[in-house]
Structure 1
Amino acid sequence: MKHTILLLLFALLSLNMIAQGPPITADKPIMLGGNSFTTKTLVEIRNTERGSVIYAPLMLHYLPTSNSLVAVHLPYTSYDLVDTEGSGLADIKVLGKYQFFRKDATGKTFRIVAKTLQSLPTGKEIDMMEISTGKYSGYYGIVSGYETLKYGISTEIGYNWMPDGTLDEFRAKLGFGLPLLKPQYPNKQINLYFEYTSALLPERDWYQLLYAQGIQFAGKNITVDLAVQLPLTQTIDVGRALNNSVFIGTRYTF
């Protein structure tokens, strides 16, 4: 009887302590319980041949149910580019996710969600991908994730449609998470992340393959993130290539 109780307790806790918090530059399909709120930010300092941009969004996420999420991202940006400089509101984004597949087992889980991200043209038209374009775009994709107590794998594939611009994009992401500490309760974990992003912009004939190395501290209801992203290969117009991006973020759930 004692062993049965311990096994049930372990199975319950393992779903909460599978533990990686969310990937840093990627996404994950695992959601917390319904009727929960998360406030987060992920500041990006992007350095390109054209200049530098700081992107600081305030993200407000709400889970009406355990398999659905709606969110709004209110971003501030500051930029110093060769052809323009300034600061202010970037493109506001509205996020929706719905988890349509879930399979759990002791100490592991696999889930898939449908995702859409609607970018509103509230920012200045500085032609900066995913930050401030001044044009409407809609992203539609599928995110999957498999997590165990020893590692996590996340994937994403989707398409960003910009009807009045030239930043249409085929996007694919692959991420690996590696917890460094043994599972414990209350949850405390240090995670390493290895994340790849592939972006093809057919109208501009641009291509990027990026790699991000990140580290994350995940507590009971808070995470702190740090990552550096570098290009592995890119075919982009002269003067527009990415040099590197630094990401600093935090998340609090209540």
Structure 2
Amino acid sequence: MKKSIFSVFLFLAVAMDVAAQGPPIFTDTPIMLGLEGRGVRTFGNIVSMENANAYIHPVAFPYNITNKWQVGVVAPFVAKSPNGMDSRSGFGDLQVFTKYQLFQKDGKAKTFRGLLKLTEVFPTGNTSETPTLGTGANQTSLSLVTGYVTTKYGLYTEVGYNATSDNLPDNVIYKLAFGYPLLPQKYPPQQVNIFAELLGNYVLDGVGNNLFFAPGIQYIVGRKLLFESGIQLPLDDPAPEGQKTNYIIRIGTRVLLF
């Protein structure tokens, strides 16, 4: 009986610490509790390129079937404004995903977890007119996501492979995120987290490597609401001159429904 009570309190303590730490802004997380579980996540990506501007606004609906298995769908709205061309907007490529936790090791005020994530992207965005709103190809990606979270910091990694149809090049995904909470832990959570992330995407067939540095800040209000913002700054961009990315700004929120 005492062991069962201790286990419950340990679980609650870990869950509170995880909730206060918050998930990374750009990198995925192996935590499927609280704001990373059943709810709604939405954000706007403001993309500035040398030859165009774009706004991408996905809405994600994750749902926990069990505490180890999650499914979800991401529906994006896309607006593009190329230099010297008419702007176009509409729905982009639809995504569905599933996550399954492979391992979980909890300690006092810390946890280490890992999961597999499978994502399928369907070419639902219009490609018959220019500028296109989708890739016109199916994409399948499989990633390993890990995270080590304590009351003092969080360290997250994501490594995966994305296979693309229609003779488009595949790519290797690699991400690293470090999170640091600025306020003391308390319940219900009210926390400000800062993040530093490296976001990599190596495109095969000789295309090259995309690498961004992404600082960000996150504000958690209680158990059910989170606000976050970050910016991606290019460190390595293989795009031709005149087509490179200047920056990507993200502003978003997550809401736990139940």
Aligned with 2:176: secondary structure? strand
Alignment gaps of 5+ in structure 2 = none
Aligned to 2:198: 196
Alignment gaps of 5+ in structure 1 = none
Aligned to 1:226: 229
- Listed as ranges, the matches of 1:228-243 within 5 Å are 228-243=231-246
Aligned residue identity for 1:13: A
Shift >4 Å, 4+ stretches:
5-11
Q: Which deviates further from its counterpart, 80-89 or 156-165?
A: 80-89
Aligned to 2:100: 98
Identity of aligned residues (%): 35
Aligned with 2:38: secondary structure? strand
CA distance in 2, matches of 1:110, 1:179: 17
**Per-residue Cα deviation, 1:144-167 (whole angstroms, up to 9, x for no partner):** 000000000000000111021424
C-alpha deviation, 1:28, in angstroms: 0.5
- Give the superposed CA RMSD: 2.1
Aligned to 2:15: 15
User: Is the 8 Å Cα contact of residues 207 and 236 (structure 1) preserved in structure 2?
Assistant: no
Aligned to 1:50: 51
Q: Which deviates further from its counterpart, 108-117 or 226-235?
A: 226-235
Count of residue pairs brought into register by the alignment: 246
Aligned residue identity for 1:142: L
Aligned residue identity for 1:230: L
**Per-residue Cα deviation, 1:122-155 (whole angstroms, up to 9, x for no partner):** 0123788xx7212111111100000000000000
Distance 1:150 1:194, change over 3 A: same
- Listed as ranges, the matches of 1:1-254 within 5 Å are 9=9, 12-18=12-18, 19-32=20-33, 37-82=38-83, 85-125=87-127, 132-219=134-221, 220-253=223-256, 254=258
Q: TM-score, normalised by structure 2?
A: 0.89
Aligned residue identity for 1:17: D
Q: TM-score, normalised by structure 1?
A: 0.90
Aligned with 2:202: secondary structure? strand
Distance 1:85 1:135, change over 3 A: farther
CA distance in 2, matches of 1:105, 1:203: 44
Aligned residue identity for 1:30: I
User: Is the 8 Å Cα contact of residues 231 and 248 (structure 2) preserved in structure 1?
Assistant: yes
Aligned with 1:203: secondary structure? coil
